[in-house]
Structure 1
Amino acid sequence: MNRRQDSGPWWRRGWIFATTVIAAGTLIGLSVPMAFRTEPANTPITVRTTVQAGQLMSAPQVPFAGMTWRDYHGVLLPYSADNGPRDTENDLATGFTQTPRGALLAAVHITVRANMRWGPKVFEPTIEDQVIGPDADALLVAAREAYEELRGDRPDGEALGRAYVVLEGFRWQGYSPAAASVDLVSAGPGDSEVTVRAVTRVQVQWQGGDWRVVGPPGGTWAGSAAPVDSTDGYVRFPGGGA
């Protein structure tokens, strides 16, 4: 287990929670940045390169047969008996297969659980054990700071409540058995009851017998997320996801 020391800042009041998936911002983590609502849909996304582009297949097929959707504090998440997560004890999620579907499931579950909304019993072990890369420490510190700022009068360690977000779809940037990059689309309520969508780029690496999420640049998902008007061009999640 890799316990990290506090260092570095993160996003705070500029986001409304939607959940997760990430991004600890949009989803998958997941909240939708308020600033995104006035920016064009082609806002650039920043990524942390994990492998050479030539090592990635562009768009592997991901079958949805046998996948079920279960409520996770207000967010419907996909589960597969074959591809993971195999262990969901203590509200965490580990054990994904080294396949495209396993990578996709890991990206969703790890990013969602890395959100501070579920409290330190969930986000701390998720980030400490399942987020890797040079910006993982900053992500952990940011989550701790955001949690302390938002918990108010709640007892220390208590979750901040249910989320209101829907995972709508995804699009591969690339996949290999060693690493993958995927864009995840999530939707949540915005101002004046308008639905707000965002796409968050999540990268994963196969390490230590399981998929790990690569921490976003600077420990914030803001640079890895952008507004999106619709799910056109993305693979729609079936059933509970969309």
Structure 2
Amino acid sequence: MAAPPVSFAGVTWRDYHGVALPYSAADGPRSTAGDLASGFARTPSGALLAAVHVAVRANAQWGPKVFEPTITKQVIGPDTSTLLAATRQLYDKRRGKLHDGAALGRAYVVLEGFRWQGYSPDTASLDLVSAGPGDSDMTVRAVTRIQLQWQDNDWRVIAPPGGTWGGAAASIASADGYVRFPNGGSRS
């Protein structure tokens, strides 16, 4: 299957606690109330934006006020409850003296690009490349497989196998061969 076209015309990048995320008036998210993101178009661009926003927000980093409703409302599949439990456990382990519910701080990650694995108006699968700081001032890159399904008039992310994002991710040396986000996924 040929990769579906995705246009970045009209896409703006905004800071989300240290991560630059893409926003489109045409493809979503249409709502960002309560630090959540929903309302994505049933298009390749809408699926891509949903994958980015939901996967980023389904993370312990932002605290249970963000990851719990994201996972319970926007993640589907047999491993959803495992993902929620693992995310809660990771948050509790990392929060230290923070008040319950507080974000763990800013993130230091850049979304660099993606590659389609498949797309239809009902399902989508893509690999998302992210980069962040590693040991000895090295940049570490990972590719994460994100699968989506159109359900209840919005894209839903299918929980990763085993209920952890680590199970859907692999280390890579570079983003060569992936469609690069404009400006390297940084705010414009």
| TM-score (ref. length: structure 1) | 0.76
Question: Identity of counterpart residues, as a percentage?
Answer: 72
State whether structure 2 residue 111 is matched by structure 1 residue 172: no
Match of 2:49 in 1: 105
Match of 1:226 in 2: 170
Aligned to 1:161, what secondary structure does the other structure show?
coil
Gaps of 5+ in 1: 1-56
Q: Is the 8 A contact 2:113 2:184 kept in 1?
A: no
Q: Is the 8 A contact 1:58 1:175 kept in 2?
A: no
Match of 2:36 in 1: 92
2:88 to 123, 140, 144: 144
The runs of at least 4 consecutive aligned structure 1 residues that moved more than 6 Å come to none
Match of 1:47 in 2: none
State whether structure 2 residue 72 is matched by structure 1 residue 128: yes
1:153 to 82, 94, 97: 97
Q: Which has the higher contact order (CA 8 A, sep 6+)?
A: 1
1:119 to 63, 69, 73: 63
Q: What CA distance in whole angstroms lies between the structure 2 residues aligned with 1:206 and 1:84?
A: 14
- AA aligned to 2:96 is G
1:94-129 per-residue CA deviation (whole Å, 9 max, x = no partner) reads: 000000000000000000000011000000000000
Q: Which has the higher helix share?
A: 2
Per the TM alignment, residue 80 of structure 1 is displaced from its structure 2 partner at its CA by 0.1
Q: What CA distance in whole angstroms lies between the structure 2 residues aligned with 1:194 and 1:114?
A: 26
1:36-92 per-residue CA deviation (whole Å, 9 max, x = no partner) reads: xxxxxxxxxxxxxxxxxxxxx441010110000000000000000010000001100
Match of 1:6 in 2: none
Gaps of 5+ in 2: none
- Aligned residue pairs total 186
Superposed counterparts of 1:1-242, under 5 Å: 57-239=1-183, 241=185
Q: What CA distance in whole angstroms lies between the structure 1 residues aligned with 2:175 and 2:161?
A: 25
Per the TM alignment, residue 240 of structure 1 is displaced from its structure 2 partner at its CA by 5.7
Q: What CA distance in whole angstroms lies between the structure 1 residues aligned with 2:153 and 2:103?
A: 30
- Aligned-residue Cα RMSD (Å) equals 0.9
